[in-house]
Chain A
Amino acid sequence: MVRTYFLLLWTWTRAAAAYPASFALMNLLGFVTAAIDVAVILVIFANTTTLAGFSRDEVLFLYGAAALAFTICDTFVSNIDRVSSHIRTGTLDTFLIRPVSAWIQLTADRFQITRLGRILQAALVLGYAITALGLDWRRGWMIPVMVLTGIVIFGALWTLAGAAQFVLTDAPEVVNAFTYGSYQLSQYPLGIYARDVVRGVTYVLPLAFVNWQPGLYVLGRDDPFGTPEYTRFAGPAAALVLALVAALAWRQGVRHYRSTGS
């Protein structure tokens, strides 16, 4: 499975190399596009020293962790959100006649290696924030855990978005609010949002575990919403539950396609 996936990535990369656009240029542009979000944070902190009680470097830390997880998923999983366009053009069938899982084929579909620039951007911001905040490994061990948790959560979200497109063939764009919206939400400390929003993204859609809950632990801060200490460590469990739900939804989506033919 893993081997097939990387083989497909390699295939799409070579296919993209057929076009003369410079690899370096596209990566650079991806880097710059992703950096707009950082620029916004910097502009905000040109006007204030704290946002909801968090300093610039703390916000950059939360941003960097979310961005690293998200851009990795955006590169390696997000291609799945073209399901409805494949259904409309009839190309989904060509995936289904192959002896390889449709999920593997679709997440690798038209893989763009030029998105790596965005991952690099996120990694640099996270690296900067870790250094600037002087985080050490006593609490910093959580950082790789939270990035992995974030990858699983965002990967599950993209899969759910892909599964939803089996039904939402008329308006596949709706899922953008869900995927990119989740990313937008997790770029800032959840302390800025209303209590009900935060409750929703903690107990229903576990976005709080991408960076907020584990981030509070790394930064050694209390939750302004007063959740108990152990929720800082609940991320991996929440991510696994979401991944399970996404896997079931995906199976259901494929089944729906095969039973309706649309």
Chain B
Amino acid sequence: MIELDQVGRSFKVKRNVVHAVRDLSFTVSAGEFVGYLGPNGAGKSTTIKMLCGILTPTTGRVRVAGLEPARRRTTLARRIGVVFGQRTTLWWDLPLKDSFELIRHLYRVERGAFAARLAELTETLDLGGFLRTPVRQLSLGQRMRGDLAAALLHAPDVLVLDEPTIGLDVVSKNGIRDFLKRLNAERGTTVLLTTHDLGDIERLCRRVMLIDHGRLAFDGTLGDLMATAPEESSIEEVVTRLYTGGASRSGTG
């Protein structure tokens, strides 16, 4: 569903060339739930932007849902859903329901399918209480659920989440995690999730990829990840070791 083949991306910053991502290759199959980890500035956002077609890779080849994102950005947009935890894609002053209605038009979702989908999302994400509230008045947790629903109204095959649980309280986090788990299990939606919250990883991701300095530092199951460190280490300790370069940079994925 997602294929990266020796993808590199460099930026010019004041005459210096910075390699945000280099020689990155991985494949995510349909129905997988993958956690994408890495310290700040490791290249996570750059990767996500390339997956959405917002950014063209300098070298290598990207394919998402069989399409080349950089060339087929608007076609691809109908097949993937994207959520940025740091900023909303909803209309600030409009009731949530109106934002959804607009998205229906933008994505040309057929009316009947939309109604069914919205009813389902309203139930599973528990949106009923604030569908008619303007987005600016929503709490962060409510807004994030709204953003998730907005990204799924067109029933995308792939869902890309950039720090969806950032700043949320424990209850909201759990609600979102449960939802994502069900989405992946019941509908088979492929999910790629970046996060700094290792709880997300523990609860959701069978597979973990870790990127550091623009290169893939680990790719494997959560079990493999834990096995890179001495026994009884917590996931925080394991990841800290990897971020600070204390572990071998190899995985089995």
Contacts and interface: CB of A to CB of B under 8 A. Distances in A.
* A–B contact (CB under 8 angstroms): yes
Interface of A: 3-4, 7-8, 11, 14-16, 18-19, 90-91, 93-94, 96-101, 255, 258-262
Contacts of B54: 93, 96-97, 258
Contacts of A19: 93
B93 A18 contact: yes
Contact of A258 (B70, B92, B102, B134): B70
B77 A11 contact: no
Contacts of A262: 11
Contacts of B4: none
> Which of B54, B77, B86, B94 counts the most A-chain CB atoms under 10 A from its CB?
B54
Nearest to A8: B102
Interface stretch (B45-53, B211-219, B242-250): B45-53
A93 B52 CA distance: 9
B77 A97 contact: yes
A180 B102 CA distance: 32
Ranked nearest first, the 8 interchain pairs of A and B with the lowest CB-CB distance are A15-B93, A99-B77, A18-B93, A94-B89, A99-B74, A96-B54, A97-B82, A99-B78
B93 A16 contact: yes
A100 B74 contact: yes
A254 to B, nearest CB: 9
A93 B93 contact: no
A11 B70 CA distance: 29
Nearest to B105: A7
Nearest to B46: A261
Given A258-B54, A260-B12, A261-B46, A14 B106 contact: no
Chain A binding surface, main DSSP class: helix
Contact of A15 (B55, B91, B105): B91
A96 B52 CA distance: 8
A4 B49 CA distance: 25
B73 interface: yes
B55 A258 contact: yes
Contact of B106 (A18, A100, A258): A100
Contact of A14 (B73, B74, B98): B98
Nearest to B13: A262
Contacts of B233: none
Contacts of B102: 7-8, 11
Given A14-B94, A93-B54, A261-B46, A99 B107 contact: yes
Given A101-B74, A260-B11, A261-B55, A91 B93 contact: no
23 contacts: A7-B102, A11-B91, A11-B94, A14-B98, A15-B94, A16-B93, A18-B93, A18-B134, A19-B93, A90-B86, A90-B87, A91-B87, A93-B54, A93-B84, A94-B84, A98-B74, A99-B75, A99-B106, A101-B74, A258-B54, A258-B55, A261-B11, A262-B11
Contacts of A16: 93
Contacts of B49: 93, 261
B93 A96 contact: no
Nearest to B70: A258
A1 to B, nearest CB: 12
B56 interface: yes
Given A11-B94, A93-B84, 15 more contacts: A11-B102, A15-B92, A18-B93, A90-B87, A93-B54, A94-B84, A94-B89, A96-B52, A98-B77, A99-B74, A100-B74, A255-B56, A260-B11, A261-B46, A261-B49
Interface in B66-123: 70, 73-75, 77-78, 82, 84, 86-87, 89, 91-94, 98, 102, 105-108
A253 to B, nearest CB: 14
A259 B59 CA distance: 11
Contacts of B91: 11, 15
